[in-house]
Amino acid sequence: MTQNAPPGDRIAKVLSRAGIASRREAERMIESGRVRVNGKLIDSAALNVTAQDKIVVDGKPVGEPEPPRIWLYHKPAGLVTTERDERDRDTVFDALPDDMPRVMSVGRLDINSEGLLLLTNDGGVKRRLELPSTGWLRRYRVRIKGSASEAKLDQLREGITVEGINYQPMVVTFDRQQGANAWLTISIREGKNREIRRVMEAIGTTVNRLIRVSYGPFQLGDLKAGDVEEVKRRVVRDQLGLEGEKPQPSRRRKPPRPAK
């Protein structure tokens, strides 16, 4: 005789839906003793909880799950896309406005890259947008030192292997030469770690500026560096195939003023 599964959802899934962290990050938080359920400290993610259970993370009660939300953030160069940095460098999350809810980044931009970074309060949305199967095109404006011939760029258009890593064919346009530099527009679907920088090095050029201008249907547009703009709920529903929500107006937030 088989026993019925316990009611509710796994604690890590609940924390993810509440915008606390991704499931994997939530599991690490549990293992490090940062989560209590009904007053009891838990050390294992193998626990189901229901709406009646009281969950506390780092001493703060976890509220009802919010509907999935997405923000556009214009990441400046010089920030790392991580919540905590081992080298104590400034992070994207340190720079967000104080009234932002807890959010996670969809993928990353390295410290020297800038432009569009998607933020979400929902771990499920984060995973969905990061999946290679989603196949959303990510478009970048790329400045390189020197120039690059069409023959070299054709290697990227056909797909290239660098140090044993296969990179899918890219959409590459040579835009213009500007003094000692040249500007390209490059579109990719995979978004592997430092993908554009590595393939450009492989064809003998160096990237000295990298700006992401779009991620799937989401555009950087005229969003200024450091600013955040929430995507309209209707657009989130339509793009992700969600149901239910009443649309809300988008809001643009400027970064907080530095303390004097």
* Cα gap 213→190, rounded to integer Å: 16
Other beta carbons within 10 angstroms of residue 33's beta carbon come to: 10
Does pTM surpass 0.95? no
**How many other C-beta atoms can be found within 10 angstroms of the C-beta atom of residue 166?**
10
Angle at 42 between CA 37 and CA 43, to 5 degrees: 155
For residue 247, the model assigns a pLDDT of: 39
Give the helix, strand, coil percentages of the chain, each rounded to 5: 20, 30, 50
Measuring CA to CA, which residue among 181, 183, 207, 178 is closest to residue 194? 207
Q: What is the pLDDT of residue 131?
A: 82
pLDDT tens string, the chain, 260 residues long: the values are 445 667 888 898 888 777 787 788 889 999 999 999 999 999 999 999 998 899 999 999 987 777 889 999 999 999 999 887 788 899 999 999 988 888 889 999 999 999 999 999 888 888 888 887 777 899 999 999 999 999 999 999 999 999 999 999 999 999 999 999 999 999 999 888 899 999 999 999 999 999 999 999 999 999 999 999 999 989 988 888 765 444 344 455 555 544 44
Q: Which pLDDT score, from 0 to 100, does residue 241 have?
A: 78
Distances (CA, A) of 92 to 64, 198, 199, 241: 26, 23, 26, 28
**DSSP letter assigned to residue 80:** B
Tell me what pLDDT residue 187 has.
97
Cite the active site residues.
Answer: 110
pLDDT of residue 176: 96
Query: Residue 124: what pLDDT?
Result: 83
